Amino acid sequence: MEAPRKSLLKLKKKQIAIKVKGYRPTKDSEPYFQEYKIPLKPDMVVLDALNYIKDNIDGSLTYRWSCRMGVCGSCGSNVNGKPKLTCETFIDDVGDNLTVEPMARFPIIKDLVVDIDSFMTKLKDVKPWIINETEKPIEKGENLQTPEQVDLYKQQSMCINCMLCYSACPVVGTEDDFIGPAALALSYRYNMDSRDQGEKERLKITSSEEGVYGCSWIGECTSVCPKNVDPAIAIQKLKLTGSLQTIKELLLPKFVK
């Protein structure tokens, strides 16, 4: 049998120059590009290149990574200007010039490592847990949920918190308080869950200018998502629900609510 590798053959170059944006908090006032030349191996991903540099050329290169298989969401970076998981991005596919930058629209701590504190806060702000008035004891068995009910939110529950959508979102860049794609999609995911009754509570948070109404549906969040979550749609649906809810509240007399 033959090796199933096609790309072994298409490898033309033996070496590649890779530009990595560096920033050293103790001595630099602003980031700069540093170029490394590394031997190119077949089917190398960008993360391999970074690991090669760290092990063999410059031990001080700093970046986050973990699982290597695109489920942990640690290794997001801007590769040639596009937000990507470096463990899933083949060097062959990105062309001749390879630049790796930290994710855009986040403060840079060091080299490719960014400060994600604000993201973690926003995530918790949307109350991503089941809200119920009464707690059901587990002895009573699980909640029933049909496959159709699961399908309503399953797609939106795939988020791996890689923050690529924040890196891609121009609103995140200008409006610091904007809750942002992943967190809003998460709130939508819980709203759609048949076990949850917290929609009103969450809408109070998300139906605001920092919430869904700050979004202008650029749609880049959805297109960069490595897990096919669709924050853009989730946000628009939240806008619609929030808006209809408000109109209903204003039109209906108080006691109906």
CB-based contact 130:195 (threshold 8 Å)? yes
Helix axes 181-192, 199-206, angle to 10 degrees: 160
User: To which H or E segment does residue 21 belong?
Assistant: strand 15-22
Considering beta carbons, is residue 140 or 255 the nearer one to another protein? 140
What region does 105 belong to: left with phi over 0, alpha with psi -120 to 50, or beta?
left
Report, in Å, the least distance between residue 194 CB and another protein. 9
Residue from 26, 95, 134, 257 in contact with another protein (CB under 8 A): 26
CA distance 200 to 30: 44
Asked if 256 interacts with another protein (CB under 8 A), we say no
Report, in Å, the least distance between residue 105 CB and another protein. 7
CA distance 218 to 236: 11
Report, in Å, the least distance between residue 255 CB and another protein. 19
User: To which H or E segment does residue 153 belong?
Assistant: helix 147-154
Site for another protein in 163-202 (CB under 8 A): 170-171, 173-175, 190, 193, 195-196
Report, in Å, the least distance between residue 43 CB and another protein. 3
Amino acid at 155: Q
For the record, the structure tokens of 116 come out as 């994600």
Q: Which stretch binds another protein (CB under 8 A): 11-19, 32-40, 212-220?
A: 212-220
Site for another protein in 222-241 (CB under 8 A): 223, 232-233, 236-237, 239-240
Report, in Å, the least distance between residue 90 CB and another protein. 7
Asked if 154 interacts with another protein (CB under 8 A), we say yes
Asked if 94 interacts with another protein (CB under 8 A), we say no
Asked if 34 interacts with another protein (CB under 8 A), we say no
CB-based contact 164:85 (threshold 8 Å)? yes
State the pairing for strand pair 98-101/15-22: parallel
Considering beta carbons, is residue 23 or 166 the nearer one to another protein? 23
Asked if 160 interacts with another protein (CB under 8 A), we say yes
Asked if 105 interacts with another protein (CB under 8 A), we say yes
Asked if 129 interacts with another protein (CB under 8 A), we say yes
Mapping DSSP to helix (H, G, I), strand (E, B) and coil, where does residue 255 land?
helix
CB-based contact 80:91 (threshold 8 Å)? no
Residue from 16, 18, 20, 23 in contact with another protein (CB under 8 A): 23
Total residues contacting another protein (rule CB under 8 A)? Answer: 118
Return the closest-CA partner of residue 77 out of 42, 106, 39, 51. Answer: 106
Site for another protein in 41-60 (CB under 8 A): 41-45, 47-48, 51, 54-56, 58-60
